[in-house]
C-alpha cells in the first residue's frame, strides 16, 4: 500500500507544481500585454449616422495567446434607455503579435431624434458603459469595465420663433416674416430644408413656406423666414 500512496503523493505534487507555475506565468504575462487607444474619430455619413471610431492596438508579448478579446460599448440616456451598442471581437491574439482593430459605434440621428425630440432642443448627458474582456492564456477570463458620461449637444438649442411681421403681398396673400434663432451646439453642420406651416385657431392651414437651412457646428443661427398666407389670416390668432 505504501507504493500507491507514494505515487499519489508524487502525482499530486507534480500537478500542484504544474498548476502554480502555469497560473503564476499566466498572471505575470499580463504585464506584457499593452493596449494603445488611438485618437477617437467621429464622422457623419450621408444617411445621418454618426460613426464613432476608436482605433485600438494590442501588443501581446506575454507567454501565452489571448483568446476571445472583446470590446463592447453601450450608450444610454439618463433614464437608462439604450441608444446604441457596439462590439468588436478578436478570436485570438497570438503571443508576440500586434493586432490593431477599430472599434466602431453608430448612432442613427434620424432614429434618435424621432424617439425623443428633447435631444433636438436640450443639451443633456449620455451614459457610456465600456467593457474590455479577454481570456488570458485562453483559459482565465478577465473583464474590465467602466462607466462615464459624455455630453450631448443639441443641434437646435434655444430654438426661438420671434414676433412675426406681416405685409401685404398681393390681393389675395400676405407675406409673414418670422425671425428664427437657435444655437447649433454639436460639431457637425446642419444642412437641409426647413418647412414652416401656419395654422389658424380652427386648425386650418393658412400659410406655408420652405427654405434651405445651413447652420454651422458650434455656432449660433439667426435668420428670417418668409411665409405666404391667405388674406383671411388674422395676426392675433396663429400657430406655427
**Which residues of the shown chain bind another protein in the complex (CB under 8 A)?**
1-2, 4-5, 8-9, 11-12, 15-16, 19-20, 23-25, 27-28, 31, 139-148
Q: How many Å apart are CA 118 and CA 182, to the nearest integer? A: 14
Beta carbon of residue 7, minimum distance to another protein (angstroms, whole number): 10
Show the cell assigned to 124.
Answer: 443633456
**Which residues lie closer than 8 Å to 72 by C-beta, 6 or more apart?**
85, 86, 87, 88, 130, 131, 133
Name the residue nearer to another protein (CB basis): 1 or 171.
1
Name the residue nearer to another protein (CB basis): 71 or 178.
71
Beta carbon of residue 151, minimum distance to another protein (angstroms, whole number): 17
Which of these, 213, 219, 215, lies nearest to 194 by C-alpha position?
Answer: 213
Beta carbon of residue 27, minimum distance to another protein (angstroms, whole number): 6
Beta carbon of residue 8, minimum distance to another protein (angstroms, whole number): 5
Name the residue nearer to another protein (CB basis): 32 or 36.
32
Torsion angle, alpha carbons of 163, 164, 167, 171, to 10: -150
Beta carbon of residue 30, minimum distance to another protein (angstroms, whole number): 9
Show the cell assigned to 223.
Answer: 435668420
Name the residue nearer to another protein (CB basis): 91 or 141.
141
The gap between the terminal CA atoms of the chain, to the nearest Å, is 98
Name the residue nearer to another protein (CB basis): 110 or 145.
145
Name the residue nearer to another protein (CB basis): 19 or 239.
19
Which of these, 141, 55, 58, lies nearest to 94 by C-alpha position?
Answer: 58
Beta carbon of residue 80, minimum distance to another protein (angstroms, whole number): 18
CB 73 within 8 A of CB 56: no
CB 217 within 8 A of CB 187: yes
Amino acid at each position: 500500500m505504501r507504493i500507491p500512496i507514494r505515487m499519489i503523493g508524487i502525482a499530486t505534487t507534480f500537478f500542484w507544481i504544474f498548476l502554480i507555475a502555469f497560473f503564476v506565468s499566466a498572471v505575470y504575462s499580463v504585464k506584457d500585454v499593452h493596449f494603445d487607444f488611438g485618437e477617437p474619430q467621429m464622422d457623419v455619413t450621408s444617411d445621418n449616422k454618426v460613426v464613432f471610431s476608436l482605433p485600438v492596438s494590442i501588443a501581446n508579448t506575454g507567454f501565452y495567446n489571448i483568446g476571445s478579446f472583446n470590446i463592447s460599448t453601450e450608450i444610454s440616456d439618463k433614464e437608462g434607455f439604450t441608444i446604441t451598442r457596439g462590439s468588436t471581437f478578436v478570436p485570438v491574439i497570438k503571443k508576440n503579435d500586434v493586432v490593431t482593430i477599430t472599434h466602431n459605434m453608430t448612432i442613427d440621428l434620424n432614429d434618435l431624434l424621432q424617439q425623443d425630440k428633447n435631444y433636438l432642443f436640450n443639451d443633456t448627458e449620455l451614459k457610456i458603459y465600456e467593457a474590455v474582456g479577454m481570456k488570458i492564456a485562453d483559459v482565465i477570463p478577465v473583464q474590465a469595465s467602466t462607466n462615464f458620461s459624455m455630453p450631448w449637444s443639441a443641434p437646435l438649442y434655444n430654438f426661438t420663433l420671434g414676433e412675426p411681421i406681416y405685409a401685404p403681398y398681393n390681393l389675395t396673400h400676405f407675406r409673414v416674416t418670422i425671425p428664427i434663432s437657435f444655437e447649433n451646439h454639436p460639431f457637425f453642420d446642419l444642412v437641409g430644408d426647413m418647412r414652416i406651416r401656419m395654422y389658424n385657431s380652427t386648425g386650418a392651414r393658412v400659410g406655408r413656406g420652405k427654405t434651405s437651412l445651413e447652420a454651422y457646428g458650434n455656432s449660433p443661427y439667426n435668420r428670417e423666414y418668409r411665409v405666404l398666407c391667405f388674406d383671411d389670416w388674422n395676426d392675433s390668432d396663429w400657430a406655427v
